[in-house]
Structure 1
Amino acid sequence: MEDPRDALDDSYEQQVKLLHEVRGAVAEVATAKKRIELQGEEMGARHRRLGEQATEAMAQGREDLARAALQRRASLEGQVAKLQEQHASLQAQTSQLQERERRLAEQIAAFRVEKETLKATYSASEAQVRANESVAGIGANMNDVGAGLDRARDRVTQMQARAQATGDLLASGALQDLTAAPDADIERQLSELASRADIERQLNALKAEGGEGGRGSGMTVHSPDGWLSIGQAPPTP
């Protein structure tokens, strides 16, 4: 999608360029008017000199010279009139161009404020879109993570159940332990029988101890190294 900020900047630059052109035109017209003013000042100075010459010629009795000076001054007045018309026209053009320059400058200033506001709004909206998209992406990733955790939990539960089941099968003898030594099942059963027989022996010893008036059965060891005899068969009387 086209970025409107670029279009706004281009429009602003074009308006600024137009304003520079108008200001250049104002400067050119002002320069032309200045030249006419200088020329008019020269003609005004000559007009005064011709009048003074006519007065001086009459004072000296030279009516012919006075007439010639007055004729030249009359001709000069026609030129000055045309120059005044040009000056008035340039003055009007200068006023119009200055008014256009002022209005254009105000329009450009207002456009600049609007441009910057729109650009800021667009940038903020763009940032919000990126943030929303990032949040949406994070949400999707979290959903994937959650699904992965659920699958992992299911696998762990299944593996625990399988381990328990295989353990039970090994214990019951339904499943053969290929890593066990040969005849290990017979050794295991004999060990269980010996353990039960030892428990029965200890129970009988406790019963006999009670019948003999609380005489010690030798089950409690008080010597410092008595722990070495824990689990060992009692000495034969």
Structure 2
Amino acid sequence: MSNSSRMRDIFRSKTSRALDRVEDPREMLDDSYDQQVKLLQQVRQALAEVATAKKRIDLQGQELGARYQKLAGQAQEALRSGREDLARAALERRSLIERQVAGLQQQYAGMQKQTDQLQDRERHLSEQIAAFRIEKETIKATYTASEAQVRANEAVAGIGASMNDVGTSLDRARDRVAQMQARAAATDELLASGALTDLTAAPDADIERQLAAMSAQSEIDRQIEAMKGADASNGRGRSGGADDAGEWLSIGQGPTGS
């Protein structure tokens, strides 16, 4: 495999993994869940704001109601005191308060209706988010388990991207080792045949090596002739025993004993 092909495969593998991360359904589900939670928070915030405004209207209504009752008492007291003019003025103000209270009652009823709608929406959305969360976690767990199974199967089958890289590396390593072994064997043969010169050897080492080989061959021939002569004279060498334990000290020191 050329370097350019290998680089293309690596780039393609990394790009595929990057796309898988971008399209990861687990992240998509989490993002969708976060958006729904934010929407629920907005509904709850709106519900709190409406409840605050309704409470403010309620306090105003209570204040006007207290004035309304007070003016009724003042009108009766003015009549008992013979001040019809004061009683009339108190009743006129009481009539004005009735109109103000009627307006507040309409606003309060509208906010109560809005509050009921927001509460229903908040309850429905909360239930929907809770159900979605359960399904989301189930899907995420299933996807994670399936992803792990796919990776395990690819590793066993050797078809994963990492296993392909490992297989390619092993093939290249085997080729390099085979080439190096063949080169080592070839250089050994060339050195033995004299086609290559051992630069680390002493001068005239090749002549000394050949003379040593000739001397060793002559020694072997002499020993064979000695053994033949011993057989011809029916001689027997000493059999090895406990007293021969020190004979190893004489090995290589002279002719073979007969």
**Is the structural similarity TM-score above 0.5?**
yes
Do residues 83 (structure 1) and 108 (structure 2) align? no
Q: Which residue number in structure 1 is paired with residue 213 of structure 2? A: 188
Paired residues of 1:8 and 1:115 also in contact (CA < 8 A): yes
CA gap of 1:220–1:203, structure 2 versus 1, over 3 A, is farther
Asked if 1:233 corresponds to 2:251, the answer is: no
Q: For residues 134 and 257 of structure 2, what CA distance do their matches in structure 1 show?
A: 103
**1:33–1:176: structure 2 CA closer, same or farther, 3 Å change rule?**
closer
146-155 vs 174-183, greater mean Cα deviation: 174-183
Structure 1 unaligned segments of length 5 or more: list them: 211-215
- CA deviation map 1:41-93 (0-9, x unaligned): 11112213322443x34xxxx5xx3x446544553453243134224213312
Partner of 2:55: 30
Instruction: Please report the TM-score for the alignment, with normalisation by the length of structure 2.
Output: 0.61
CA distance in 2, matches of 1:176, 1:101: 99
- Residue in 1 that maps onto 2:122: 105
TM-score, normalised on structure 1?
0.65
Amino acid at match of 1:200: E
For the aligned residues, what is the CA RMSD? Answer: 4.3
The Cα offsets for residues 89-109 of structure 1, whole Å up to 9 and x where unpaired, read as 133123113213313432553
Tell me the alpha carbon deviations over residues 167-192 of structure 1, each in whole angstroms, 9 at most, x when there is no partner.
8x94xxx6457453326435523531
Q: Does 1:93 align with 2:110?
A: yes
Q: Whole-Å Cα distance in 2 between the matches of residues 99 and 35 of structure 1?
A: 21
Per-residue deviation, 1:27: 0.8
Matched, 1:142 2:162: no
For structure 2, the residue ranges without an aligned partner over 5 or more in a row are 1-21, 199-204
Identity score, percent: 9
- Deviation, 1:139, is 1.1
Greater C-alpha Rg: 1
Give yes or no for contact 2:75–2:88 (8 Å, CA) kept in 1: no
1:155 corresponds in structure 2 to: 179
AA of the residue aligned to 1:44: Q
**1:120-148 CA-partner distances (Å, limit 9, x unpaired):** 9569958959x95x963431332133213
Q: Tell me the distance in 2 between the aligned counterparts of 1:119 and 1:199.
A: 90
Number of residue pairs matched?
217
- CA–CA distance in structure 1, aligned partners of residues 58 and 162 of structure 2: 71
